[in-house]
Homo-oligomer: A and B are copies of this chain.
Amino acid sequence: MSTAVPQDAGARPATSVDIARAVGLSQATVSRALNGGVVSEAARERILVAARDLGYRPNDVARGLKTRRTGVIGVVVSDILNPFYPEFLQALGSALTVRGERMLLQSGAGAGAEDREAEAVEALIRRRVDGIIATGATDASATLRELAASGYPVVLAHRTLPIDADTIESDNVAGAARVAGLLHSHGHRDVAVIAGDPGASTAQQRAIGFERRAAELGMTVRHEPGGFDADAASGAAMRVLGSGSRPTAVFGHNDTIAIAVLNVARRLGIDVPGELAVVGFDDIAAAGWPIVGLSTVRQPTAALAERAVELLTARLQEPDAAPRHEVLPIELVERTTTGPLRRTS
């Protein structure tokens, strides 16, 4: 953990400087030893003994010192009402449990999202987690930027930012491009995209992937601002389907949006997929329900979670390694909301 991060108080605890003085080694060596870095076994032993003698809290010592780890990873989630996140959290929990670690969750959702995210991150750090996995980063995530810049162990998972932190995400660009290809193959030329949060990398990448491929294929694309949550999505779906010049297909930037489109289509009596094809992104559980049958792009949710945990584990072991950016492949899942366009004219 970096020295910039405040620790809980108590009596003033011994610092690495105190220990360095006591053992006659440099503070850098002491820090390295306490962080699990490379030092000689003899030095490590002396440092640990000194740490204990100087009244380091036993918790820190007992935990194998090497890393001063607490065995708890903080996870920040922005929107637990979007089923993708509970599914991702479940996968994160499993990946951590397998390693004997625990997950402490902070939700940063709601109004004033940036402030709440900052609060969530702060609250986790104050509770001495080993590092943080952030699942809902946006362009406005100032706290995550600062955290990464300060050297604090943080992994951006699912949504990413172009910063010096380890990141793991799905291939949103390729996934969205495949949606454009699928719709084109079914004869759709006039399509609408209902966008997610414009500050989220997922929405940005899905927009780029879809629109680039659609342009190559000569499709007309209408970009409708929306949002990843159900309310914003319903409003956008009404604007797209309620207008006189309705597209023949809609791509929602996530499944929540696509399901909102299905609901509005049902209300308006629009036949899916005969009159309207609908595709989402994520493959949440509800997409696979036979009564929903949503065609969508499947995110490798379990693999994302697994790699997020691995990246964080590696970071804790090698705090100074270069940040890694990884992208996992996706899969197109065609169900019953897409099919050949029924020509009505």
Contacts and interface: CB of A to CB of B under 8 A. Distances in A.
Copies of this chain assembled into the complex: 2
Interface string A267-307: 10000000000000000011001111000000000000000
A2 interface: no
Contacts of A86: 80-81, 83, 85-86
Contacts of A72: 123, 127
Contacts of A94: 110
B102 A105 contact: no
Contacts of A161: none
Interface in A96-129: 97, 102-107, 109-110, 116, 119-120, 123, 126-128
Interface of A: 6-10, 72, 80-81, 83, 85-87, 89-90, 93-94, 97, 102-107, 109-110, 116, 119-120, 123, 126-128, 230, 259, 262-263, 266-267, 285-286, 289-292
Given A6-B8, A127-B127, 14 more contacts: A8-B8, A80-B80, A80-B90, A81-B90, A81-B285, A90-B107, A94-B110, A97-B110, A104-B105, A262-B291, A263-B289, A266-B291, A291-B292, A292-B292
28 contacts: A6-B10, A7-B9, A8-B9, A8-B126, A9-B9, A72-B127, A80-B80, A80-B86, A81-B90, A83-B83, A83-B86, A90-B107, A90-B109, A93-B110, A102-B123, A104-B106, A104-B127, A105-B106, A230-B285, A259-B289, A262-B289, A263-B289, A263-B290, A263-B291, A266-B290, A267-B290, A286-B286, A292-B292
